[in-house]
């Protein structure tokens, strides 16, 4: 009763707009019927997709993602997931109606966003990032018939596929590249929010640097954020001023500030030899400036590719629910770009890569294993 | 001439007109950028009001905003701008979770009371710091509370990583006997996180009204806010009332944080920024013009706008930031209420003038 009353009073307060909304109700109803239709055909759609293989017209499979607080345009983690979804749609000749993203501005948006996606009946709904662990677990439990995916965390439920990455392997290669390239004997690492995922980056990077030369100093700092570019810029300014010439960031959108700082420095002093190592996707274009490019290299994290391959797997062979699919160098789920690395440095990187693949080098997952 | 009735009418009209003007402003802006405002508002309101889950989520958001709104309002009445509501929410949140995790085996009613009380006290002390500094050293409470916000943020993150959990970004979930969730509410709203905090909020709204209008202490707080020197001359203690109002402000915010923690999330995780409910509470209080019932309803409006904004991109192709612009515009018009009063007076005098002329 109270609820109804509240609703009535709220409706009074905003009567003009609710009235406006009522006028358009017909339009809303039509979309709902269309959605109902898709709902009915979804089950059949999976079958037809299997039979017809690459025949694109009959595919009725759609996927959606919920970003973490970084937003879909963070030029890093979330964006690479979204790019992967776009590639997935392109490769099947699907229109953009089959993919969608929901942005979260705050942790409290995760669950409403997931429920929005559930209402639209996507076949797989991906939670991008470890921050969505609780939200995905709760919602997956409430909706046992829906299928979910989570990146960077493990949810052991039959309707959730977990996509994890051995980021430390790629970070190790970045460490090798940085140690081989540095002129000052000092490099920097900027993490987002410390925790198991970013720990892998820090541990891998430090181990990679130490693998080349134990005397190289690695400055470590954490932004405590994945979103605030100004903190990234501040930390990078301190690191460069203290003599570091290469800064590796594993901090999502915070990294944009690192690129800004490096660009500002180069523009005021073009002879400065400083570099940034990008993260999660090839951030080479972020490093463009008037006189060249200062992105030394980027560690790649195949978030997009993992989404693509798990969606394909679900379409072709059935949803890999309950599985944890781990991607490392071996699976080409993580990698290092060639970027602006010199031939000698690249040789050293290749050597280290081989060492990891052969099992000669064990890369630590957490800084305290160093 | 401003009669008492007129003043009451204005207090009702200013927020309503501000809301209407805010929506019109948003609509004009959307038209300017080539979006369809009718479609956008329809997506927003239909999305929330036509679906029990999203309505439940909006009410859940409104619950927390009621606390932060009341918290801000009580300090504002005493003449202080407590911009530290967000930090007080955070310390309340972390305290409630910490207490709930520390005594997992207590009976539900006891554990909830303990958890909420602890959060309330910690929030009160947190804001009280700014109150004491203000009362005895004349320190600017805006600056002090902003600084306390950051101390709260980093202290909370430190506690989560090193004390409450071991090295993780998230604490354990509190047990069912520390949760504010009620089954029938969850079922009624089809699985939303609406919780018993709503009833606590309604009780607190009533208590707030009683305190402010029916008690001597509430009268003194208001008097100090209206004129500090006059009230000192009348024998009231300014420092005592400053501290009391900040203390109560922080208590309300801390309680809101506990309800956010035990009701919405059931745990706490490292924060990358201060919780938005803290700052939105300021807007809620301003729109509610400091009236507890007004604050409750403006909290509901903000809850609907906030949850409804999620529908904008996918159902209307409008960026969800548009909802924030509408909120900002509403607050602008509340702030510019002099303009509304002025126009209203003008129309009125013109009317009486023409009527009188005839």
CA-to-CA distance for A263 and A281, rounded, in angstroms?
A: 19
**B297: nearest CA in chain A?**
A10
CA distance B180 to chain A (A): 16
> Which of B284, B299, B332 lies closest to B24, judged by CA?
B332
Which residue does chain A place closest to B302, by CA atoms?
A10
Tell me the pairing of strands A275-278 and A246-250. parallel
How far does the CA of residue B296 sit from the closest CA of chain A (Å)? Answer: 10
Q: Which among B23, B272, B310 is the nearest to A226, CB-wise? A: B272
Q: Does A78 touch chain B (CB under 8 A)?
A: no
Choose the mutation target among A2, A9, A17, A110 for the interface with B, i.e. most B CBs under 10 Å: A17
Given B57, B167, B170, which is nearest A134 (Cβ)? B170
Domain boundaries, chain A: 35-165+302-334, 169-298+340-369
Mean pLDDT in residue range A245-265 = 94
Q: What is the pLDDT of residue B9?
A: 80
A193/B54 Cβ within 8 A: no
pLDDT of residue A20: 38
pLDDT band at A22; cut points 50, 70, 90: very low
Tell me what pLDDT residue A58 has: 61
User: Would you call A227 an interface residue with chain B, using a CB distance cutoff of 8 Å?
Assistant: yes
ipTM: 0.86
pLDDT band at A224 (very low <50, low <70, confident <90, very high): confident
pLDDT of B4 reads 64
Closest CB to B270: pick one of A24, A108, A193.
A193
Check whether A183 has a pLDDT greater than 90. Answer: yes
Using a CB-CB cut-off of 8 Å, the residues of chain B touching A254 are none
Mean pLDDT value across residues A103-117: 92
Q: Can you list the pairs that B204-211 forms with residues at least 24 positions away whose Cβ atoms lie under 8 Å?
A: B204/B66, B204/B67, B204/B70, B204/B252, B204/B255, B205/B66, B205/B70, B205/B292, B205/B293, B205/B295, B205/B296, B206/B292, B208/B70, B208/B74, B208/B252, B208/B292, B209/B292, B209/B293
For residue B168, give how far its alpha carbon lies from the nearest alpha carbon of chain A (Å). Answer: 6
Say what the pLDDT of residue B343 is: 78
Question: 0.95 cut: is pTM over it?
Answer: no
Question: DSSP character for B175?
Answer: P
Q: Which CATH number does the domain A169-298+340-369 belong to among 3.20.20.70, 3.40.720.10, 3.40.50.2300, 3.90.180.10?
A: 3.40.50.2300
pLDDT value at residue A355: 95
pLDDT for the residue numbered A50: 41
What residues have CB less than 8 Å from A292, skipping those under 6 apart? none
Is the pLDDT score of A82 beyond 50?
Answer: yes
Chain B residue with Cα closest to A139: B191
Categorize the per-residue pLDDT at A10 as very low, low, confident or very high, splitting at 50, 70 and 90: very low
Inter-CA distances, B265 with A108, A111, B95, B117, B272, Å: 8, 10, 14, 18, 16
A7 touches chain B (CB under 8 A): yes
Question: Do residues B153 and B93 lie in contact, with contact meaning Cβ atoms separated by under 8 Å?
Answer: no
Q: Which residues of B touch A142 (CB under 8 A)?
A: 191
- Give the model's pLDDT for residue B11: 81
Collapse the DSSP code of B261 into the 3-class scheme (helix H, G, I; strand E, B; otherwise coil) and give the result: helix
Residue B231 tokens read as 């009230």
Residue A130 scores a pLDDT above 80:
yes
Give the pLDDT of residue A291: 85
Q: Which residue has the tokens 């954490």?
A: A222
10 Å CB burial of residue B180 (0-12, 13-18, 19+) is buried
Q: Which residue carries 């977990």 as its tokens?
A: A162
Residue A117 has a pLDDT of 94
Identify which of A6, A24, A105 has the shortest CB distance to residue B42. A24
A–B interface: beta-carbon pairs under 8 A: 111
CA-CA-CA-CA torsion sign (B331, B334, B335, B339): positive
With CB atoms and an 8 Å threshold, state whether B49 touches A11: yes
State the fold for domain A35-165+302-334: Rossmann fold (3.40.50)
Q: Which pLDDT belongs to residue B295? A: 96
For residue A193, list chain B residues with Cβ-Cβ distance below 8 A. Answer: 169, 270, 272
Side by side, which strands form the sheet with A217-222?
A217-222, A186-191, A246-250, A275-278, A295-301, A334-336
**Residue A35 in this model has a pLDDT that exceeds 60:** no
Q: Look at residue B351 in the predicted model and tell me its pLDDT.
A: 72
Residue A257, min C-alpha distance to chain B (Å)? 16
Q: State the smallest CA–CA distance between residue A168 and chain B in angstroms.
A: 18
Range of lowest pLDDT (A70-84, A115-129, A233-247): A70-84
Mean pLDDT by 10 residues, chain B (358 residues): 68 88 95 94 94 95 97 94 96 97 94 97 97 93 95 94 84 92 93 95 97 94 90 90 95 97 94 90 92 96 94 90 90 83 78 60
Q: What DSSP character marks residue A76? A: S
Tokens read off for A57: 């017209």
Within this chain, domains A35-165+302-334 and A169-298+340-369 share the same CATH topology: yes
Which pLDDT value is given to residue A15?
Answer: 40
* Count of Cβ atoms closer than 10 Å to residue A292 Cβ: 10
> Edge-to-edge strands of the sheet including A63-66?
A99-102, A63-66, A124-127, A147-151, A160-165, A324-327
Closest CA to A325 of A67, A99, A126: A126
Per-residue pLDDT at A150: 96
Question: A13: distance to nearest CA of chain B, Å?
Answer: 7
Residue A46 is predicted with a pLDDT of: 41
Question: What average pLDDT score do residues A54-59 get?
Answer: 55
């Amino acid at each position: 009763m109270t609820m109804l009353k509240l609703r009535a009073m709220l409706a009074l307060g905003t009567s003009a707009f609710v009235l406006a909304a009522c006028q358009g109700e017909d339009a809303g109803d039509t979309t709902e019927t269309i959605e109902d239709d898709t709902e009915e055909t979804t089950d059949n759609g999976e079958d037809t997709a299997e039979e017809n293989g690459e025949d694109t017209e009959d595919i009725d499979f759609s996927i959606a993602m919920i970003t973490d607080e970084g937003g879909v345009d963070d030029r890093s983690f979330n964006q690479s997931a979204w790019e992967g979804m776009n590639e997935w749609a392109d490769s099947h000749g699907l229109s953009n109606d089959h993919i969608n993203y929901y942005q979260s501005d705050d942790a409290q948006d995760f669950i409403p966003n997931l429920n929005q996606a559930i209402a639209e009946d996507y076949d797989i709904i991906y939670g991008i990032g470890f921050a969505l662990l609780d939200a995905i677990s709760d919602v997956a439990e409430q909706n046992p018939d829906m299928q979910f995916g989570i990146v960077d965390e493990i949810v052991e439920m039959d309707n959730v596929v977990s996509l994890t990455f051995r980021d430390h392997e790629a970070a190790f290669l970045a460490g090798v590249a940085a140690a081989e390239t540095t002129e000052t004997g000092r490099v920097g690492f900027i993490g987002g929010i410390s925790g198991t995922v970013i720990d892998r980056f820090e541990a891998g990077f430090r181990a990679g640097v130490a693998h080349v030369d134990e005397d190289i100093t690695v400055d470590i700092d954490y932004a405590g954020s994945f979103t605030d570019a100004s903190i990234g810029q501040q930390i990078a300014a301190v690191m460069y001023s203290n003599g570091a010439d290469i800064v590796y960031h594993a901090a999502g959108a915070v990294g944009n500030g690192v690129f800004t700082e490096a660009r500002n420095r180069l523009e005021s002093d073009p002879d400065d030899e400083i570099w940034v190592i990008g993260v999660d996707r090839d951030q080479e274009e972020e490093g463009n400036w008037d006189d060249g490019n200062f992105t030394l290299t980027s560690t790649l994290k195949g978030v997009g590719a993992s989404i693509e391959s798990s969606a394909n797997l679900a379409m072709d062979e059935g949803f890999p629910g309950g599985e944890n699919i781990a991607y490392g160098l071996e699976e080409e789920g993580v990698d290092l770009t060639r970027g602006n690395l010199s031939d000698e440095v690249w040789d050293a990187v290749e050597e280290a890569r081989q060492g990891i693949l052969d099992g000669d080098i064990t890369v630590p997952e957490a800084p305290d294993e160093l | 001439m401003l009669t008492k009735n007129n003043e009451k009418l204005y207090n009702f009209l200013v927020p309503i007109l501000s809301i209407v003007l805010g929506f019109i402003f948003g609509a004009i802006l959307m038209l300017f950028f080539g979006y369809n405002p009718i479609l956008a508002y329809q997506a927003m309101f239909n999305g929330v009001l036509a679906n029990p889950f999203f309505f439940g989520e909006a009410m859940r958001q409104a619950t927390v905003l009621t606390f932060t709104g009341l918290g801000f309002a009580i300090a504002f009445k005493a003449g202080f701008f407590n911009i530290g509501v967000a930090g007080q929410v955070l310390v309340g949140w972390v305290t409630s979770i910490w207490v709930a995790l520390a005594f997992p085996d207590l009976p539900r009613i006891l554990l909830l009371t303990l958890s909420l009380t602890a959060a309330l006290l910690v929030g009160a002390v947190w804001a009280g710091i700014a109150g004491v500094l203000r009362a005895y050293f004349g320190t600017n409470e805006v600056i002090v509370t902003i600084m306390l916000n950051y101390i709260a943020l980093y202290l909370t993150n430190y506690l989560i990583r090193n004390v409450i959990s071991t090295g993780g970004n998230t604490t354990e979930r509190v047990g069912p006997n520390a949760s504010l969730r009620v089954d029938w509410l969850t079922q009624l709203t089809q699985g939303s996180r609406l919780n018993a905090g709503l009833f606590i909020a309604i009780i607190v709204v009533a208590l707030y009204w009683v305190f402010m209008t029916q008690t001597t202490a509430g009268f003194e707080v208001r008097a100090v806010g209206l004129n500090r020197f006059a009230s000192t001359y009348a024998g009231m203690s300014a420092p005592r009332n400053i501290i009391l109002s900040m203390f109560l402000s922080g208590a309300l915010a801390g309680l809101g944080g506990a309800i956010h923690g035990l009701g919405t999330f059931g745990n706490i995780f490292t924060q990358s920024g201060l919780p938005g409910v803290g700052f939105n509470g300021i807007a809620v209080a301003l729109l509610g013009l400091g009236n507890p019932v007004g604050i409750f309803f403006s909290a509901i409006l903000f809850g609907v706008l906030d949850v409804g904004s999620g529908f904008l991109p996918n159902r209307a192709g409008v960026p969800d930031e548009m909802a924030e612009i509408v909120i900002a515009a509403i607050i602008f018009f509340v702030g510019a209420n002099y303009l509304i009063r002025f126009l209203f007076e003008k129309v009125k005098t013109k009317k009486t003038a023409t009527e009188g002329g005839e």
